[in-house]
Amino acid sequence: KCIYVLNGPNLNLLGSRQPEIYGAETLADVHRRLLGRALELGLEIEFFQSNSEGEIIDKIHEARSRARGIIINPAAYSHTSVAILDALNTFEQPVIEVHISNIHQRESFRHHSFVSARAEGVIAGLGTLGYLLALEYFAKGS
Ligand code: DQA
């Protein structure tokens, strides 16, 4: 069983999207780094990005039988989507929520995430390193 790494809307533009907030690294760079570390840790990952809420939900449903953990950056859906929270609540393994930026330092509408109620842990503000730290959590046998 593998770890699903799910990315929400606009994260396909990572690297060119507001680099002063999100950095210069692309999502492909993040994927490559995660694959390298996963190999070292003996973990398998499935990396996915979608701009559509329904596709993210479908992927979480798929994870129910295929994944032993989910790392998710729901992006703007963090702040709006009860549907993604509900989907994650059908998944019986650990969930780690990652945000590249520190959402608590930004506009107040970013301070609340529906997903956080479900997540074992939340990493925000450490840039793309957050994804790698989340992977380390699963390496510890969680
Ligand atoms: C984000 C923070 C969200 O508020 C924003 O909508 C994003 C990215 C982050 O990774 O910092 O798209 O999840």
Q: DSSP per residue over the chain, as a string? A: -EEEEEE-TTGGGTTTSSHHHH-S--HHHHHHHHHHHHHHHT--EEEEE-S-HHHHHHHHHHHHHHEEEEEEE-GGGGGT-HHHHHHHHT--S-EEEEESS-GGGS-GGGS--GGGGT-SEEEESSTTHHHHHHHHHHHTT-
User: Any known ligand binding at 86?
Assistant: yes
pLDDT at 141 over 80: no
ipTM above threshold 0.90: yes
Q: What is the pLDDT at residue 116?
A: 98
Catalytic residue among 4, 77, 99, 131: 99
Which domains are present in the chain? 2-139 (3.40.50.9100)
* CA 49–ligand 1 middle distance (angstroms): 13
Q: What is the pLDDT at residue 1?
A: 83
The ligand 1 site (C-beta within 6 Å) comprises 10, 73, 75-76, 78, 99-101, 103, 110
Q: What is the mean pLDDT of residues 61-82?
A: 98
Task: Enter the pTM of the model.
Answer: 0.97
- 4 as an active site residue: the answer is no
Q: Tell me what the pLDDT averaged over the chain comes to.
A: 96
- 99 as an active site residue: the answer is yes
